[in-house]
Amino acid sequence: MGAENCLTGIRVLDLTQFEAGPSCTEVLAWLGAEVVKLENPKSGDPGRQINNPDGADAHYFLQYNANKKSITVDLKSPRGLALAKDLAAHADVFIENFAPGAIERLGLGPDVIRTLNPAIIYAQVKGFGTGSPFEKNLAFDMIAQACGGTMSVTGDADGPPIKPGATIGDTGTGMLMAISVLGALHRRTRTGEGEHLQVAMQDAMFQYIRGAFARQTSTGKAAQRAGNGSVMSRNPPMGIYPCLGGGPNDYVYVYTSRANPEHWRRLLGVIGREELIGDPRFETADARRENEAEVDAMVADWTRQHSKQDAMRIIGAAGIPAGAVLDTNELLHDPTFEQRGITQTIQHPKIGPYKMAAFPVRFSGRPAPLHPAPLLGQHTNEVLGEWLGLGSDDVGALRESGVIG
Amino acid sequence: MGAENCLTGIRVLDLTQFEAGPSCTEVLAWLGAEVVKLENPKSGDPGRQINNPDGADAHYFLQYNANKKSITVDLKSPRGLALAKDLAAHADVFIENFAPGAIERLGLGPDVIRTLNPAIIYAQVKGFGTGSPFEKNLAFDMIAQACGGTMSVTGDADGPPIKPGATIGDTGTGMLMAISVLGALHRRTRTGEGEHLQVAMQDAMFQYIRGAFARQTSTGKAAQRAGNGSVMSRNPPMGIYPCLGGGPNDYVYVYTSRANPEHWRRLLGVIGREELIGDPRFETADARRENEAEVDAMVADWTRQHSKQDAMRIIGAAGIPAGAVLDTNELLHDPTFEQRGITQTIQHPKIGPYKMAAFPVRFSGRPAPLHPAPLLGQHTNEVLGEWLGLGSDDVGALRESGVIG
């Protein structure tokens, strides 16, 4: 990172909740924007309550709200609503992901805010697109993954669809909106123009399964589930193989590329079956498809004698793509991520030390700095002062009248 | 979109291949950057060859290279290498995702290019991070998904890990790099500073499973696979239910939120079981967990009598989150996506009309315009002329000597 962060000086008024919106604004915060969560004084972003420990903010909330500020404003009160508009007038970006129609009913819809502040980037994340037959429907990550195709291509070929455990519907969508906000900001620097951005979680899923769409157009049929293979092609050995330990994630992924016949020959060397190099039963990808069970068995005979970490190390060092199936416990406690700043430990004022993943991209060798998610209303005085010039008397009066928390 | 696109005037020299890099530069191209793929004259980006029809560019390639230009340069020849450096000197962004160490061996590493052009954003996508024990290893999407945790949280609770069919390892990583390039460009506008960006596909996976990491820190144990449920909580009914038709994707996802008890009550109305509203066996989420089999059976009794589309429509209209499991064939042929520009049909010079997904975010109500991926070397003359001022004689001489394709 240079002497200053990328988005220093950019103000984001953040009315998002749960994950799809917060994951977007968190990236902007990591890149240095001043992201101010405007929350209801009662309980704030409902993400604060998801499996929360002892009344403190949920770990879930900490993940998606790092580096942000929080102010509490009662939007049901006329003075609170006016305050939100004042803040929007001083912001560069306004973003929300309420249920369809809610922000307009509140009186903070795009027409209102863009009239107040024509240069603002006004961003909305919904489940379904404006103009979709389902535009009024509620959505969560799993609904987007069902309707957007990611489930249809995940799972075993002869089993039911499986929802990817990765929250592509939420964070996958949030990342596309972050890109768009940054694009619109770039243009605004040049032209002064604001923008109205909208993304639907269902639509965003297309972006992440375009290999499957390629398969669709090549075959004219729906892309099928391929288990641990690829929707694009079957190319054994390609998939997970069981390792020592026998635990739920004691597997190593081995991939031999069709484009590089050396992968297979090198693998035969690793597993001590050099005598099969050049054997026509296994030499080409097509031959190995015909003898897939035998191929898989000989690879598994070797992997079963090694831990997944050893298998990854040995196979990888031989120049064959290989990866241990690592779980969250292994990843979080692997010191090499901490050494590189991919995971960092924050000091949360209520929860204490909390280790979490930072933004994984490195800027001049360093990841973005990580700060804990804000307590509800932690920055109300500061933001009302800095953005609107309100003094402590003004803020005190607002607090007494219940307009702010 | 305003009168001009977001990144008009930004030049990207793109040495990426396959998907993780190309998905990043394609987004920049959609937002208006001039993205020039620099490819080898012989066969170009190997993505052009993945299941390609009749020698034309692969559908896979079309998906990840829309709106770009292509020039062919032989980087093994000294004159070709000098040409690449000249182009880098005239670019705003340089990006590559070759195997570890390859770009440095070519003589186009970050030190070389950033010395030539200190204001450039130099971006690298690799499988494993610099400083990781695996930094020299090859990776593909599936290896990143194995080593980055997404597989460990996908699949049935009592089954093996499953690779999400969505290419989170590739496109998921590409989106994070796009965000970072845009962030660095934003700062550069203000400060003139260049940047060196690096992302590892393994590290990028953390970003997409942070709910699972929250679960990890809450329980102290690895987040488990939850089938079609959530790693965060089990809250029946929550999952897929079989519908009329019985095909591999004839399911509807039904989600009743713990935060909103009305979802369950409304669902009882939809399935004609109003008599159970208030029944203590089912009234709370905890009670429904105890009677999960019965809950699932009564929902499935209703869904089996409806097509997934009808089920989604009826349940969704009652205010309960619901989504049909749609496959690539259904999504690609649903006219409502075409009407909204989420899918668009390009006219490819060799393949003819080709329908594909555009960037799903709408700018002032409109998605980004879509143009076909370039033929190999289609823009060599144009780019060498416009970027470097080479005339047709110069270009002709380079072509005769085999330096360009």
Asked about A170 being catalytic, the answer comes back as yes
A chain contacts of residue B144, beta-carbon cutoff 8 Å? 323
Mean pLDDT of all residues in chain A? 95
Name every residue whose Cβ is closer than 8 Å to that of residue B111 and which is 6 or more positions away in sequence.
none
The catalytic residue among B45, B74, B141, B170 is B170
Peptide bond into A248 cis (omega under 30): no
Q: What's phi and psi for B200, nearest 5 deg?
A: -110, 135
Interchain contact, B139 vs A193, CB within 8 Å: no
The answer to whether residues A236 and A295 touch, using CB atoms and an 8 Å cutoff, is: yes
The answer to whether residues B64 and B47 touch, using CB atoms and an 8 Å cutoff, is: yes
Q: How far is CA A131 from CA A385, B2, B316, B324, B356, in A?
A: 41, 21, 16, 18, 19
**How many angstroms separate the CA atoms of B285 and B36, rounded?**
54
The stretch B62-89 carries a mean pLDDT of 97
Mean pLDDT of all residues in chain B? 95
Min CA distance, B396 vs chain A (Å)? 33
Is the pLDDT assigned to residue B261 strictly greater than 90?
Answer: no
Higher pLDDT, A257 or B16: B16
Interchain contact, A146 vs B183, CB within 8 Å: no
**How many angstroms separate the CA atoms of B208 and B218, rounded?**
18
B chain contacts of residue A100, beta-carbon cutoff 8 Å? none
Query: Does A139 contact B at CB distance below 8 Å?
Result: yes
pLDDT at A231: 73
Interchain contact, A143 vs B223, CB within 8 Å: no
* CB count in 10 Å sphere of residue A83: 22
Residues 194-223 on A with a CB inside 8 Å of B are 195-200, 202-218, 221-223
Percent of residues, chain B, with pLDDT higher than 70? 99
- Of A155, A340, A357, nearest to B162 by CB-CB distance is A155
The stretch B128-151 carries a mean pLDDT of 96
Tokens of A218: 């090549």
Same fold, A11-207+335-400 and A238-242+251-324: no
Residues 44-63 on A with a CB inside 8 Å of B are 46, 49-51, 53, 58-60, 62-63
Task: Pick from A122, A152, A202, A315 the residue to mutate for testing the B interface (most B CBs within 10 Å).
Answer: A152
Query: Does A281 contact B at CB distance below 8 Å?
Result: no
Q: Tens digits of per-residue pLDDT, B183-239?
A: 999 999 999 999 999 999 999 999 999 999 999 999 999 999 999 988 777 889 999
The answer to whether residues B289 and A182 touch, using CB atoms and an 8 Å cutoff, is: no
Interchain contact, B142 vs A323, CB within 8 Å: yes
The answer to whether residues B93 and B181 touch, using CB atoms and an 8 Å cutoff, is: yes
The stretch B5-33 carries a mean pLDDT of 97
- For the four alpha carbons of B179, B183, B186 and B188, in that order, the dihedral sign comes to negative
Task: Pick from B57, B170, B208, B260 the residue to mutate for testing the A interface (most A CBs within 10 Å).
Answer: B208
Min CA distance, A342 vs chain B (Å)? 7
The 3-state DSSP class for residue B100 equals coil
The answer to whether residues A51 and A359 touch, using CB atoms and an 8 Å cutoff, is: no
- pLDDT level of residue B1 (50, 70, 90 thresholds): very low
B chain contacts of residue A191, beta-carbon cutoff 8 Å? 2-4
User: Within a 13 Å sphere around the CA of B303, how many CA atoms are in the beta-carbon half?
Assistant: 30
Q: What's phi and psi for A336, nearest 5 deg?
A: -70, -25
Percent of residues, chain B, with pLDDT higher than 90? 92
Looking at domain A238-242+251-324, its CATH superfamily turns out to be: formyl-coa transferase, domain 3 (3.30.1540.10)
* CB count in 10 Å sphere of residue B85: 15
Residues 345-384 on A with a CB inside 8 Å of B are 354-357, 359-365
Tokens of A128: 């379904």
pLDDT at B312: 97
The stretch B34-59 carries a mean pLDDT of 93
Question: b/e per residue, A231-246, with b = 16+ CB within 10 A?
Answer: bbbbbbbbbbbebeee
**Rg of chain A over all Cα atoms, to the nearest angstrom:** 25
**Rg of chain B over all Cα atoms, to the nearest angstrom:** 25
pLDDT at A405: 87
Closest-approach residue (CA) in chain A for B324: A147
Local structure of residue B176 (DSSP, 8 states):
H
**How many angstroms separate the CA atoms of B129 and B99, rounded?**
12
- DSSP E strands, B183-290: 195-200, 238-242, 251-255
**Tokens 């679960």 map to which residue?**
B215
- Of A6, A59, A191, nearest to B186 by CB-CB distance is A6
**How many angstroms separate the CA atoms of B107 and B104, rounded?**
5
CATH architecture of the region B11-207+335-400: 3-Layer(aba) Sandwich (3.40)
For every residue of chain A, which 3-state class applies, written as one string? CCCCCCCCCCEEEEECCCCHHHHHHHHHHHCCCEEEEEECCCCCCHHHHCCCHHHCCCHHHHHHCCCCEEEEECCCCHHHHHHHHHHHHCCCEEEECCCCCHHHHHCCCHHHHHHHCCCCEEEEEECCCCCCCCCCCCCCHHHHHHHCCCHHHCCCCCCCCCCCCCCHHHHHHHHHHHHHHHHHHHHHHHHCCCEEEEEEHHHHHHHHCHHHHHHHHHHCCCCCCCCCCCCCCCCCCEEEEECCCCCCCCEEEEECCCCCCHHHHHHHHHCCCHHHCCCCCCCCHHHHHHCHHHHHHHHHHHHCCCCHHHHHHHHHHCCCCEEECCCHHHHHCCHHHHHCCCEEEEEECCCEEEEEECCCCEECCEECCCCCCCCCCCCHHHHHHHHHCCCHHHHHHHHHCCCEC
- Of A187, A227, A336, nearest to B133 by CB-CB distance is A336
pLDDT at B2: 46
Q: Tens digits of per-residue pLDDT, B306-323?
A: 999 999 999 999 999 999
Q: What's phi and psi for A78, nearest 5 deg?
A: -55, -40
* CB count in 10 Å sphere of residue B134: 24
**How many angstroms separate the CA atoms of B213 and B199, rounded?**
20
Name every residue whose Cβ is closer than 8 Å to that of residue B168 and which is 6 or more positions away in sequence.
A164, A166, A168, A172, A208, B141, B144, B145, B150, B205, B208
- Of A151, A186, A209, nearest to B185 by CB-CB distance is A186
Ranges of residues in chain A whose predicted pLDDT is under 50? 1-2
Percent of residues, chain A, with pLDDT higher than 90? 92
Name every residue whose Cβ is closer than 8 Å to that of residue B17 and which is 6 or more positions away in sequence.
B45, B46, B47, B97, B98
Q: Tens digits of per-residue pLDDT, B358-405?
A: 999 999 999 989 999 999 999 999 999 999 999 999 999 999 999 998
Tokens of B144: 């990143």
Interchain contact, B361 vs A180, CB within 8 Å: yes
Query: Does A8 contact B at CB distance below 8 Å?
Result: yes
Q: Tens digits of per-residue pLDDT, A188-206?
A: 999 999 999 999 999 999 9
Query: Does A146 contact B at CB distance below 8 Å?
Result: yes
A26, exposed or middle or buried, with CB in 10 Å at 0-12, 13-18, 19+? buried
Domain residue limits, chain A: 11-207+335-400, 238-242+251-324
The answer to whether residues B215 and B143 touch, using CB atoms and an 8 Å cutoff, is: no
